[in-house]
Amino acid sequence: LTTNYNTKATFNFQNQVKLEYTGYEDDIIKSIEAGNVSLPLSTSLITGSQSLFGIKTKLQFGRLMVTSVFSQQQGEKKEIEVQGGAQIQKFEIKADQYDQNRHFFLSHFFRDLYEQALANPPYINSPVNITKIEVWITNTTRNYENTRNVIAFQDLGEAEEKHIYNKALVQDKNPSSEFSSNDANTLYEQINANAQVREFVAASAALNNMGFTSKDYEKIQGARLLEEGKDYFVHRQLGYISLNQEVNQNQVLSVAFQYTYNGKIYQVGDFSVDGFTGQQALYTKMLMNTQYDTKLPMWDLMMKNVYSIGAYQVQKDGFQLEVWYLNPKTGLQINYLPEGPKGVGNTQLIRVLNLDRLNVNNDTLPDGYFDFIDNPLITINPKNGKVYFPVLEPFGSHLRNKLQDNNLADKYAFDSLYTTIQANAQVKFPDKNRFYIKGQYKSSVGSEISLNAINIPQGSVVVTAGGQRLVENQDYTVDYNLGRVTIINQSLLESGMPIKVSLESNSLFNIQTKTLFGSRFDYTVSKDLALGGTIMNLTERPITQKVNIGNEAMANTIVGLDGRYKTESQLITKILDKFPLLNTKETSSLTLNGEVAYLIPGHSRAIDIDKKEGTSYIDDFEGSQSTINLKTWNSWKLASIPQGQNDLFPEAQLFDSIAAGFNRAKLAWYVIDPLFFRNNNLTPAHIKDDPDMQSNHFMREVLYSEVFPNKSIAAGTPANIPVLDLAFYPNERGPYNYDTEPTNISAGINEDGTLAAPETRWGGIMRQIQTSNFEASNVQFIQFWVMDPYAEAGEPGFPDENTKGTLYINLGNISEDILRDS
């Protein structure tokens, strides 16, 4: 009995139990093992298993040895490939998976120069040099060092009219100049002349009075200054920044920068050292706002030609990258377009997309391989594994221009990838989303190979080089506890020969049951000839009968035969002695190995539904709809005045005025506790004794069976639906309503103190929704059930059909400023 059992073990595989019986030399039963067993096999086509729990027997019938096992498999197998001492990792990225919200041009001036500057690699043809830069972002951390009040403007520094959003207020000062600067248009001069804007507190009111809207600027209180090298990288010749972290959609990103062009200095925005102190605002160039509007000129400043391969410290040696196209006719991926003009059709896509313009000697001659240009940074940043296309829209306008035919361009170009948000492009245009970026890279690991596994069963690691099996402790060593293989035969690493490591590791979590049954037959014909046979069956039990396609539970059987013949031969020695200068004395040996195997695939009977044929599901649409519950009453707060609807809410334009609340009426929101309907000792007597109150449609309990009569309620689940009640009183004052006399905003009050003209009054509540990107989350609609307000029409105290109101639902960026004072 062998045991190693710990009741406090973290994982099951840490506990080892084995009961073993060993027979005598002349017994048929040689051994019986129960518990943690293994079935090692010397064959290459059929590999055994080390992590088994079950029963194992060894029987001998004359020259025939039979080893059988019936067990549950507790391990999982994987394979790692290494070449030249580095582990080979493969990557695959779809064209729609560009690295969004991280890489930004500083202005349209640099965006327009980008392709021209990279026209002649490996040189950057740009007279630009960014000499100074400050990057500001909305502070969502608790770090308040290096913070300032910032107002970010979309049109700041834009020199061309086509890149200016608010053309009514901002004009190009010098149409013949294309350089970004504070003097490029009239914006900086206008805002700098208004002292209220600079003082920040009243900036919103001042800017709105000037005619600017929320799309023109963003006001950031306590913006955080990012640190170059730690938080971002700036390309000083091409004029873009790459952030280490993605900008969230509730954050604003802006910059101030200074650059030289052919020796002349230009500046956009204000620097923190320019003499502005205290609460005074810095004016900066906005690169991303909270509205995420693809129709704004600022949308083009986000680079959509950068992809992350998910690696760091990438080596040039062994790096491969190809662009593939999924041909809809054949269903196969090809690295070229099947049609197009000369130089495009039947031409490697990496060449069409300007990723292959040089050979290994940096001569202007494509060689069919990705141009690894990292110094200067043009196509790849090896530190963080970012791949940069030298064109702005590789799968859009660039490909369209290359095809030179609108019909072909409409067929292949993925223009919507650059005109809509990423989530839309991924979901709504599958017919164009057919491009893939695939390749491989080497990670530096030297002679040590990490197996990414722990507690590996002894003898389960097999290492081969060029198809030849290596010898443990001679060519390599294994640390089974830490999961590490060390190649000690240095010649294998220096030869560059691909090394494959296959292993079996203990599963940390076993959810799906795997049953392994197998027998190994070894028959010794003579001392020179041995024959063998193997039969194994591996069956999985699915967790549920509904399995997704590709995850079907298998029941596979494999059968194999093998033979080995080895004999000594003097014939080979004599033949070699015939050659001049050769004189062999050692006895030669002849070894022949043969092996054949046949796999019989199958599936678990648990997924047999019809006619004993296995069934898998593409999608059963269960759980396909996820909801955002908006009924939690304490998540709602008093609403601010809705903006941009001046016909309904004229007071929304007011700043720092009590008149802004003149039209706010009383609104209550609540959820009634079910104890008021239970008629037990917790129910107040005046409610318990008033059945009319408990049955009042405006406050009564609502059961699931009323709304969903066919829904089955699980045992123990409350039968009632928590209802969010809204009670609106348009005749009564709401919070912060100091209305007395009629004004151009409100109708005043009546003699009894009630609000006059209740049809002009409003009440509202607002709340935060954590899911800010409805497109990416595929939020399609708002669903709600409303009690019929006229259910009791005609009864005293209940409204009739002449009593009407309107419910407005506003989604998007909502001001939290209930008392608007800035």
| DSSP sequence for 86-105 | EEEEEEEEETT---TTSEEE
Q: Are 325 and 334 in contact (CB under 8 A)?
A: yes
Task: Give the 3-state secondary structure of residue 633.
Answer: helix
> Residue 14 carries which DSSP code?
G
Mean pLDDT by groups of 10 residues along the chain of 822 residues: 64 69 90 88 83 89 93 74 74 95 97 96 95 96 90 96 95 90 96 94 90 93 94 96 92 97 96 91 96 92 96 87 95 94 94 96 93 95 94 97 94 96 89 95 72 75 84 88 83 78 65 83 93 93 78 89 88 78 77 93 80 75 76 93 88 88 96 88 88 86 88 83 92 95 93 94 92 75 84 79 87 85 67
H-type alpha helices, 45-171: 108-117
Task: Give the 3-state secondary structure of residue 8.
Answer: coil
Which residue type is seen at 249?
A: Q
> How many residues does this entry show for the chain?
822
Q: Are 221 and 137 in contact (CB under 8 A)?
A: no
Nearest residue to 392 (alpha-carbon basis) of 382, 401, 404: 401
Q: Where are the beta strands (DSSP E) in 433-554?
A: 435-444, 448-450, 462-465, 468-469, 476-479, 484-487, 499-506, 513-524, 529-541
Which residue type is seen at 60?
A: Q
Residues near 618 by Cβ (< 8 Å), separated by ≥ 6?
548, 549
Torsion, Cα of 706, 711, 714, 719 (10° steps): -10
- How far is the C-alpha of 39 from the C-alpha of 60, rounded, in Å? 17
Residue 346 CB: number of other CB atoms within 10 A?
12
| Strands of 75-83's sheet in order across | 333-334, 320-326, 435-444, 86-94, 75-83, 499-506, 462-465, 468-469
Which tokens in the block code for residue 237?
């010749």
- H or E element in which residue 221 lies: strand 217-225
Task: Give the 3-state secondary structure of residue 754.
Answer: coil
Domain residue spans in the chain?
2-74+509-564+601-605, 79-84+445-505, 89-97+308-441, 103-301, 630-671+724-822
Backbone torsion region of residue 46, taken as left when φ is above 0, otherwise alpha when ψ lies between -120 and 50, otherwise beta: beta
552 CA to centre of own chain: 26
Which residue type is seen at 387?
A: V
Q: Are 424 and 294 in contact (CB under 8 A)?
A: no
> Does the pTM of the predicted model rise above 0.75?
no
Q: Are 250 and 289 in contact (CB under 8 A)?
A: no
Nearest residue to 59 (alpha-carbon basis) of 77, 81, 32: 32
Q: Where are the beta strands (DSSP E) in 111-166?
A: 128-137, 147-153
Residue 465 CB: number of other CB atoms within 10 A?
20
Each residue of 101-119: b (16+ CB within 10 Å) or e? Answer: bbbbbbbbbbbbbbeebbe
Give me the pLDDT at residue 662, please. 95
- How far is the C-alpha of 585 from the C-alpha of 572, rounded, in Å? 11
Give me the pLDDT at residue 325, please. 97
Q: In whole angstroms, how large is the CA radius of gyration of the chain?
A: 37
Residue 621 CB: number of other CB atoms within 10 A?
8
Nearest residue to 192 (alpha-carbon basis) of 182, 177, 202: 182
- The half-sphere exposure of 399 on its side-chain side, counting CA atoms within 13 A, is 33
Backbone torsion region of residue 783, taken as left when φ is above 0, otherwise alpha when ψ lies between -120 and 50, otherwise beta: beta
Torsion, Cα of 459, 460, 466, 471 (10° steps): -10
Nearest residue to 289 (alpha-carbon basis) of 818, 816, 812: 812
- How far is the C-alpha of 180 from the C-alpha of 156, rounded, in Å? 9
Residues near 778 by Cβ (< 8 Å), separated by ≥ 6?
423, 427
DSSP 254-322: EEEEEEEETTEEEEES--TTSS--TTPPEEEEEEE-SS--TTSGGGGGB--SEEE-S-SS--STT-EEE
Which tokens in the block code for residue 11?
């994982």
